[in-house]
Chains A and B, each alone.
Chain A
Amino acid sequence: MATAKKDPKKSPTGTKTGTSAAKAEGAAKKTSEPDDAAARVAVEGFADSIRLGTESSAMFAKAGGLAVVCLAVSAALGASEGDGFKRWSYGYIAAFGVALAITAGSLFWVCLQHLVNAKWSVVVRRIGELFAANMPLLAILALPVVVPVVLGNGVVYEWADKTKVASEEILKHKSGYLNPGFFLVRMLFYFGFWSILARYYLNSSRRQDETGGSEIAPTMTRVSGPAMIAFGLTITFCSIDLFMAVEPRWFSTMFGVYFFASCVLGVHVTLILTLMWLQRRGRLATTITTEHYHDLGKMLFAFVIFWAYIGFSQFMLIWYANLPEETAWFKQRFFGGWGAVSWTLVFGHFVIPFFGLLSRHIKRSKALLAFWCFWMLAMIYIDMYWLVLPAINVEPDVRAMDLLALLGLLSALVAGAAREAGKKNLIPTKDPRLEQSLAFENI
């Protein structure tokens, strides 16, 4: 259990003794010195520096610049193909899948922590809230996907093209759902709802930092129930609209769950890597302990298995029944060059990280855990690539513009989170469960 061990050394309230404060400060000093004096100001009795300070604007500038450059170069390369951005759009959608998995995953994760009243994760939660708050940014980044559809350009989504729909019975059948107007309405609803929910959680949590109001935490918990239902439905249909509808003839009832598995992986990878970066910058040096990394690592491990379970079930059932309208999708992905990608996923997304993350020693070692996080991030991208690209490429074909789009989108998320973090707290300082989270220990 989350042993709510009382450890006076780590008590965040002002009652701690002078010696323990000195100890904690010493620990903070060992890590690299934060460059900003404001960040060193102890807040609410914390010895740790819990604000990004000027690091925020620096990071925003760096990551934001990188994002703009990458996306611009990627788009330029796409234009140079001379195919009306057709090839570029597929690569962009695959990269967008990773960005959506991270952002929507963060929102889900924050919501879940409130729903189950989790104690261990309180110190980590603000990071999740910051990444979830990227939703409006992500909505803007979705424009290259949404706008062509609305304009009736079937460059990626055939069903956006009226003449194509008229010529094919199955597309005509689906046009009640797959049509540009309804697609736009749905997209507005998904991103609108997610943006509002993410903003609600971040703002409530920050209001709690300021006022410490005891009613805020229960309210957030109450909101999380219905919010989770709406999230489950929106993420399902959003993944169907964006990814499954790339090949509109194929269908799978499991698809929403399959994408959801990537969302949960995405958020844990993001949380672990962000915390490691923050600690390298001297933030939250003693707040986040090996125990928190261990727990995040366990969740990562669990969802590596969950992904395999969902992926295998979806594949095996379609493979076994072998119905032409379903099995063609896997045939394209298991024969020829894509077969190698599929096997890369089987081993790289499941078998290797399964054994890699099995031992507790690995989950408790920062360097190894970081390695597996980068590994899994790459695998999430390969998974998205494998979902989207076979629709256009008979053989796998990785272009610089695809990778630049990925780099650009991820940098945009980092820039967005850094800007949002600003000069405010990186942990919810007045959360009633904070003390238990600080003292958290795994069994």
Chain B
Amino acid sequence: MAAISDVNPFVSAPVGDNAFARITDNVSRIAEVERPPRAWYIAFACALGILSIFLGSIGWVVWTGIGVWGTTMPAAWAFPIVNFVFWIGIGHAGTLISAILFLFRQTWRTAINRFAEAMTIFAVMCAGVFPGIHIGRPWLPYYMLPIPNQMDMWPQFRSPLEWDIFAVSTYATISIVFWYMGMIPDFATFRDRATTFWRRLCYGVVAMGWRGSSRQWHRYERAYLILAALATPLVLSVHSVVSFDFATSQLPGWHTTIFPPYFVAGAIFGGFGMVVMLAVPARQFFGLKRIIQIRHLEVMNKVLIATSLLVGYSYMMEFFVAWYSGNKYEAFTFVNRAFGQYAWSYWAMISCNVLFPQLHWFKAVRTNPIATLIIGMFINVGMWFERFVIICTSLTRDFLPSSWGYFIPTKIDFMTLGGSFGLFFTLFLLFCRYLPMVAMAEVKAFHPSAHAHEPDHPVEHTGQAPVGI
């Protein structure tokens, strides 16, 4: 990393005669600098390469049909749905950080909420691709929407898959609105600092003439609070609805009532894993160590412990009730998960999701960025395997042994999975380059010097400052 920081233009201290100006400078110059660090170019080139694999493999799937995947009976859902649930889960952390932690008055969220929200949107985009191509005829998705058509037919609203359409599109819409609304004041800052015509025009248009009027701030804050209050149950509902896709069925291992909260906990877990995975390099390469501090990583790692335990609790409850219910199929399914043909994926899931994150109980581990990064990666692997275990073990071992099977992914399966990371990282890197990566206005609002109400009294720092500059 030392070699890269040689060319990093962000290592110098931010400019400004007061804390607010320094925050502005620290965040804004990431988007203002003419040449981003070399690491950004390298990463962007890699991301574009992977993206082209993604587009190529999707093109191939659409051109030849989904038979090029290993997805076939009995594993009719397999990779595409595993990937869909995986990405939609990643997309939960952003709204969780922006909305739920906002309602819980967790000021540390200001350091990471913006790029977590961006991550949410990009993850939901990646997620949306998979059901889109898995339907086999990606040119007919409008069948799923309630629009009058020549067939005189309407969508089936009693189907959980139809609920998914509404849940995911609502989630995407509200997340974008929430994200964009949060960025308006920061776009205004960019506009006012712009030195070229085009920057001023572009940021000016998206800032919509925001000038920081207090009367506007008043309605803005109210709207933001309401959006947070709406987004909080929304974020719970999205993965709950995804879990309904499974849990409304009668398939052993799918039909269990704990699925909704279990999926939500898993989604938050996976999403936070992705946030720490992105936060560590972002603070390293973009000189944001003053804003995204070790302290923030530590708090996120604590959230990871908590959600890891919630996920572990669900695994345990499923096992216990599989036995307790006295249902032979259910009991078989869980023994089969742990010791059957997909045991390797089950134990990968258990170790990545339940065992490794426990290392964060040690302060030395959870305050170490490298360890944070590695455990974050493990968590993402583990959460992918969780969906794989749920989908593949249950589908390939249902009630009738005559319809048992074994799912074997093909090259194209791996290319679409891997390639989706290309889409994600390309968008994310563009975001880092051109948009405000940190919610400046919020960081300033929670800075100790924003609370110097009575200038006659010295500012008292109660507790640790949310942001150190």
Contacts and interface: CB of A to CB of B under 8 A. Distances in A.
Answer yes or no: are A and B bound together in one complex: yes
Interface of A: 1-6, 119-120, 169-170, 173-174, 177, 225, 229, 232-233, 236, 251-257, 305, 309-310, 313-314, 316-318, 320-321, 323, 325, 435-436, 443
Given A4-B451, A436-B463, A173 B313 contact: no
Contacts, number: 92
B236 interface: yes
Contacts of B257: 252-255, 313-314, 317-318
B196 interface: no
Contacts of A255: 257
Contact of B457 (A6, A119, A252, A305): A6
Given A1-B107, A6-B457, A256-B317, A443 B225 contact: yes
Contacts of B225: 443
Interface residues of B, number: 39
Nearest to B361: A225
Contacts of B258: 252-254, 257
B248 interface: yes
B261 A310 contact: yes
A310 B453 CA distance: 44
B462 to A, nearest CB: 4
B249 A321 contact: yes
Nearest to A226: B361
Contact of B326 (A4, A173, A257): A173
A119 B464 CA distance: 13
Given A6-B457, A174-B326, A317 B451 contact: no
Contacts of A225: 305, 361
Given A6-B453, A251-B321, 18 more contacts: A1-B106, A1-B446, A4-B463, A169-B326, A177-B324, A225-B305, A236-B313, A251-B324, A253-B317, A253-B321, A309-B233, A310-B260, A313-B260, A317-B255, A317-B259, A318-B257, A321-B250, A443-B105
Contact of B462 (A232, A236, A313, A436): A436
A323 B256 CA distance: 11
A232 B305 CA distance: 14
Contacts of B250: 321, 323
Contacts of B462: 4, 6, 435-436
A320 B317 CA distance: 21
Interface of B: 105-107, 221, 225, 233, 236, 240, 244, 247-250, 255-261, 305, 309, 313-314, 317-318, 321, 324-327, 361, 446, 451, 453, 457, 460, 462-463
A377 B437 CA distance: 46
A317 B248 contact: yes
Most buried by A among B305, B324, B327: B324
A203 B425 CA distance: 52
A303 to B, nearest CB: 12
A144 B325 CA distance: 27
Nearest to B160: A320
Contacts of B361: 225
Nearest to B321: A253
A229 B308 CA distance: 11
B451 A5 contact: yes
Contacts of B247: 317, 321
B269 to A, nearest CB: 15
B255 A251 contact: no
B326 A1 contact: no
B236 A309 contact: yes
A317 B233 contact: no
B344 to A, nearest CB: 25
Contacts of B451: 3-5
A320 B158 CA distance: 10
Closest 9 CB pairs of A and B: A253-B258, A254-B257, A4-B462, A320-B248, A313-B260, A1-B105, A251-B325, A252-B257, A173-B326
Contacts of A254: 257-258, 260-261
Contacts of B240: 309, 313
Most buried by A among B221, B327, B361: B327
B233 A321 contact: no
B449 to A, nearest CB: 13
Nearest to B237: A309
B321 A2 contact: no
A92 B326 CA distance: 29
A417 B192 CA distance: 60
Most buried by B among A317, A318, A323: A317
B446 to A, nearest CB: 6
Contacts of B260: 254, 309-310, 313, 317
Given A173-B326, A232-B313, A321-B255, A6 B261 contact: no
